[in-house]
């Protein structure tokens, strides 16, 4: 789905033994984007905007979209380990890395394992750390539409809400959600959406400039987890949006793009 | 013919405001246990055990238990506790567990010990069924739904090995790991208690049962899809080179017998009143769509003909107020509820037996809002009139049960025990 003038290429590339579905577009320094628990939602306004300054690489993780699930991957750390070899094979490092929600957790795991592979790290409302207050909203006790909607502070005010969560999802989209939820489940069921070791492991990111972005009204991953991330990563910056939920990139698109561009370009 | 008795042991609390006509939501998993009344709980547990004793007295071959978690419709959250008590307070009927939720326990070796003890204390009356559990169970005990089927198969292999292979041995699997498997208690029956598999939805499970020559029990499904699903079992058996028969298949459905047709109608309607299973047709509960589609719990593509019916019953066409499809009248019409006097019930049971040809049947009674008196009247009439008539019918229709023809061999069933020496006849016998 293309919303603007940017040309996008969708292809399958071989990486670490997997046929990896990958969307690419834009020009400039490479920026690897790791999607959330529902897979890649298609190219949205923030992709368009970032593509003016960066070459975007948007893979579908194994088990999401058209990329085949790897049965041996039993948790997020397994997936992060696989991804590092994929980056080797794609000759992508050192690269800027940005992850959303479940993809933010994945990004934090990958960068903690191999900080030298990454120039800068942007974590957008990442899962992965147990919030100090509140709980991570349970993806598996509600249907997809409810989870997606809860992710917005004010869904009707977000121009792309219905693009991400149509009133009547097509059979194709419903199937894609079902596939994505199953892989998300495999990565995050127990402990739910977090790893007890991660706050300690991310300390190694002291060598990687890290930007943490969160909505103050995040109903999916409470903003208190953002504080823990911030305190656990020496030198990191925490940017908070008011009147914003779990999806700053969709609810505060212009401000979000400006912040990220400023951070990555500095 | 093997005839069992079943009730789901609902937590019946007319004062709670959740059940009956008060209209309070009983969305699955959303009912808080803050309403739990200890006195009521204590009396209900004892009531259901008393009814099991009476069912044995009235001539039932099997006393069936099941297990669900975090829900008022089934109080048997630890079914093996009830089974242990039955092992001691009954003395003839089989204790049929349909079943332990195999994927749910991180320590299947503990199940090995519990089940062996029940088999010991009951002198070999245990039938040990396995189920995969619903989404509710995976959530309640927080077990990975996506590994449900893998954990089921690995736990089964481990348990059968622990029952049949002298220990100690080591188990290094994908989901279970043991450095020392050597449970001291062994099962009374040899090689181990019969394993049965009840189900509704998964094609994988049914085919697996046919491959293992394990009897498959359909739970309260409509007759035509049930027949189609059993045909898959029989076809699989034929492909594997053996002939399956009535001894390989069983059927559970709702049967209530009463003194007059009027009383039977009044009482039969109670099946769909009160905290009956929200997964089943016509009840007053509301299903949770997310639980029904827990990721990876069952393959979305490999389902049985009974699934579409189950799905419809599970709220696919829920009307206003969340009342589910297939009301009482329709279930009576399609024979999934039979309620009447012995004279009207017996020919209807015959129709079910002729259509499905099961070797095991289970009458599901005393459920929903039915009282102890309702259950006891029915049990008495079943014992006096229905069971003898059904046994005659089964002979005439040639429907041998799994303790007449061994489902594992197709040969006449022979009971064996794990005694080191041949069992001796004592003066007490």
Q: How far away is chain A from the Cα of B324, in angstroms, using its nearest Cα?
A: 19
Whether pLDDT at B83 is above 80: yes
Give the list of residues 6+ apart from residue B130 with CB closer than 8 angstroms, or none.
Answer: B99, B100, B101, B102, B152, B156, B195, B196, B197
**B170 to B151, B162, B173, B181: CA distances (angstroms):** 17, 10, 10, 6
Query: Does the residue A117 lie in any domain?
Result: yes
CA distances from A93 to A30, A205, B100 (A): 9, 16, 51
Of B29, B142, B289, the CB nearest to A143: B289
Q: Do B289 and A182 touch (CB under 8 A)?
A: no
Q: Where are the alpha helices (DSSP H) in A61-206?
A: 76-90, 102-113, 144-150, 161-164, 171-188, 198-201
Handedness of CA B110, B113, B118, B124 (dihedral sign): positive
Q: How far is A111 from chain B (nearest CA, A)?
A: 27
Q: What is the pLDDT of residue B311?
A: 45
Q: Judge: A142–B296 Cβ closer than 8 Å, yes or no.
A: no
Question: Nearest CA of chain A to the CA of B143: how many Å?
Answer: 8
Region B249-267: what's the mean pLDDT? 97
* Chains A–B, number of C-beta pairs less than 8 Å apart: 40
Tell me whether residue A249 is in a domain. Answer: yes
Tell me, what DSSP letter sits at residue B300?
S
Determine contact, residues B76/B68, Cβ cutoff 8 Å. Answer: yes
C-alpha to C-alpha distance for B331 and B43, rounded to whole angstroms? 31
H helices then E strands: how many in chain A? 10, 8
Pairwise CA distance, residues A150 & A148, whole Å:
6
Classified as helix, coil or strand, B362 is: strand
Report how far apart the first and last C-alpha atoms of chain B are (Å, whole number).
26
Cβ-based neighbours of B70, under 8 Å, separated by 6 or more: B29, B77, B136, B139, B140
Q: Which of residues 111-150 of A touch B (CB under 8 A)?
A: 140-143, 146
Worst-scoring range by mean pLDDT, B142-156, B162-176, B411-425?
A: B411-425
What's the CA gap between B4 and B331, in Å, rounded?
A: 21
Proportion of chain A in helix, strand, coil states, percent, rounded to 5: 40, 20, 40
Q: What is the pLDDT of residue B421?
A: 58
Cβ proximity of B133 and B101 under 8 Å: yes
DSSP B174: S
Q: What global pTM score does this model have?
A: 0.93
Element (H, E) at B344: helix B342-356
Range of the domain at A44: 8-265
List chain A residues with CB under 8 Å of B29.
Answer: 141
Q: How confident is the model at residue B35 (pLDDT cuts 50, 70, 90)?
A: confident
Alpha-carbon torsion, ordered B30, B33, B37, B42, to 10 deg = 100
CB contact under 8 A, A140 and B294: yes
Q: Would you say residue A222 lies in a domain?
A: yes
Residue A3 forms part of a structural domain? no
pLDDT tens series, chain A, 266 aa: 445 688 999 999 999 999 999 999 999 999 999 999 999 999 999 999 999 999 999 999 999 999 999 999 999 999 999 999 999 999 987 999 999 999 999 999 999 999 999 999 999 999 999 999 999 999 999 999 999 999 999 999 999 999 999 999 999 999 999 999 999 999 999 999 999 999 999 999 999 999 999 999 999 999 999 999 999 999 999 999 999 999 999 999 999 999 999 999 98
Contact assessment for residue B299 and residue B202, using Cβ atoms and an 8 Å cutoff: yes
Q: Do A186 and B146 touch (CB under 8 A)?
A: yes
Which positions in chain B touch A186 (Cβ < 8 Å)? 144, 146, 295-296
Of B316 and B325, more confident: B325
CA pair distance B216, B214, nearest whole angstrom: 6
**CATH number for position A248:** 3.40.50.1820
Burial B151-178 (b: 16+ CB within 10 A, else e): bbbbbbebbeebbeeeeeeebeeebbeb
| Of A72 and B297, more confident | A72
Counting the structural domains of chain A, the total is 1
Angle B215-B218-B220 from CA coordinates, rounded to 5°: 155
Domain ranges of chain B: 2-397
Q: What is the pLDDT of residues B259-290, one digit of tens each?
A: 999 999 999 999 888 766 665 566 666 777 88
Q: What is the ipTM of this complex?
A: 0.94
**Would you state the pLDDT for residue B29?**
77
Q: Is the pLDDT of residue B321 over 70?
A: no
Q: B2-397 falls under which CATH superfamily? A: Luciferase-like domain (3.20.20.30)
A1 part of a folded domain? no
Read off the pLDDT of residues B336-373 as tens digits, 9 standing for 90 and up. Answer: 999 999 999 999 999 999 999 999 999 999 998 899 99
């Amino acid at each position: 789905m293309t919303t603007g003038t940017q040309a996008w290429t969708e292809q399958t590339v071989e990486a670490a033994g997997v046929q990896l579905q990958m969307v690419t577009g834009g020009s400039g320094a490479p920026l690897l984007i790791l999607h959330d628990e529902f897979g890649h939602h298609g190219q949205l306004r923030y992709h368009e905007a970032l593509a003016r300054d960066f070459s975007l690489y948007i893979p579908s993780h194994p088990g999401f979209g058209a990329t085949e699930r790897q049965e041996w991957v039993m948790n997020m750390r397994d997936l992060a380990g696989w991804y590092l070899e994929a980056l080797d094979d794609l000759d992508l490092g050192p690269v800027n890395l940005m992850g959303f929600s479940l993809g933010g957790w994945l990004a934090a795991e990958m960068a903690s394992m191999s900080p030298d592979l990454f120039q800068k790290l942007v974590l957008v409302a990442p899962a992965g750390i147990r919030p100090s207050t509140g709980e991570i909203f349970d993806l598996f006790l509600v249907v997809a539409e409810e989870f997606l909607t809860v992710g917005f502070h004010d869904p009707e005010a977000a121009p792309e809400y219905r693009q991400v969560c149509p009133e009547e999802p097509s059979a194709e989209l419903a199937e894609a959600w079902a596939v994505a939820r199953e892989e998300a489940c495999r990565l995050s069921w127990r402990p739910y959406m977090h790893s007890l070791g991660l706050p300690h492991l991310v300390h190694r990111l002291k060598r990687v400039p890290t930007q943490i972005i969160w909505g103050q009204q995040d109903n999916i991953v409470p903003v208190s987890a953002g504080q823990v991330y911030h305190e656990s990563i020496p030198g990191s910056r925490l940017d908070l949006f008011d009147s914003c939920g779990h999806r700053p990139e969709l609810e505060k698109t212009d401000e979000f793009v400006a912040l990220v561009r400023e951070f990555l370009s500095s | 013919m093997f005839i069992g008795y079943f009730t789901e042991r609902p937590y019946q609390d007319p004062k709670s405001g959740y059940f009956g006509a008060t209209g309070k939501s009983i969305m699955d998993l959303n009912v808080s246990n803050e309403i739990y009344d200890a006195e009521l709980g204590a009396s209900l547990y004892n009531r259901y055990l008393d009814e099991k004793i009476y069912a044995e007295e009235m001539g039932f071959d099997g006393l069936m238990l099941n297990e669900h978690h975090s829900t008022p419709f089934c109080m048997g959250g630890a079914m093996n506790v009830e089974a242990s008590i039955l092992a001691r307070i009954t003395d003839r009927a089989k204790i049929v567990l349909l079943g332990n939720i195999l994927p749910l326990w991180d320590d299947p070796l503990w199940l090995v010990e519990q089940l062996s003890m029940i088999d010991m204390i009951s002198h070999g009356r245990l039938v040990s069924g396995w189920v995969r559990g619903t989404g509710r169970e995976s959530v309640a005990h927080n077990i990975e739904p996506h590994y449900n089927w893998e954990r089921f198969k690995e736990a089964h292999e481990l348990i059968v090995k622990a029952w049949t292979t002298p220990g100690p041995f080591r188990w290094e699997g994908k989901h279970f790991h043991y450095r020392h498997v050597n449970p001291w208690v062994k099962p009374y029956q040899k090689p181990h208690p019969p394993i049965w598999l009840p189900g509704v939805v998964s094609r994988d499970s049914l085919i697996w049962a046919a491959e293992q020559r394990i009897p498959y029990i359909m739970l309260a499904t409509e007759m035509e899809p049930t027949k189609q699903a059993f045909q898959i079992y029989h076809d699989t058996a034929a492909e594997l080179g053996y002939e399956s028969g009535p001894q390989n298949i069983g059927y559970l459905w709702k049967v209530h017998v009463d003194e007059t047709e009027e009383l039977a109608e009044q009482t039969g309607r109670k099946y769909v009143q009160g905290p009956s299973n929200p997964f089943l047709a016509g009840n007053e509960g509301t299903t949770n769509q997310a639980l029904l589609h827990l990721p990876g719990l069952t393959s979305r593509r490999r389902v049985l003909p009974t699934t579409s019916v189950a799905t419809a019953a599970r709220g696919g066409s829920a009307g206003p107020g969340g009342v589910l499809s297939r009301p009482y009248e329709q279930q009576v019409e399609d024979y999934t509820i039979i309620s009447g006097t012995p004279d009207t019930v017996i020919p209807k049971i015959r129709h079910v037996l002729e259509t499905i040809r099961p070797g095991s049947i289970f009458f599901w009674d005393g459920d929903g809002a039915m009282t102890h008196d309702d259950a006891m009247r029915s049990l008495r009439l079943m014992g006096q009139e229905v069971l003898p008539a059904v046994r005659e019918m089964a002979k005439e229709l040639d429907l041998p049960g799994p303790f007449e023809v061994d489902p594992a061999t197709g040969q006449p069933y022979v009971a064996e025990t794990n005694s080191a020496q041949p069992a001796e006849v004592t003066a007490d016998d």
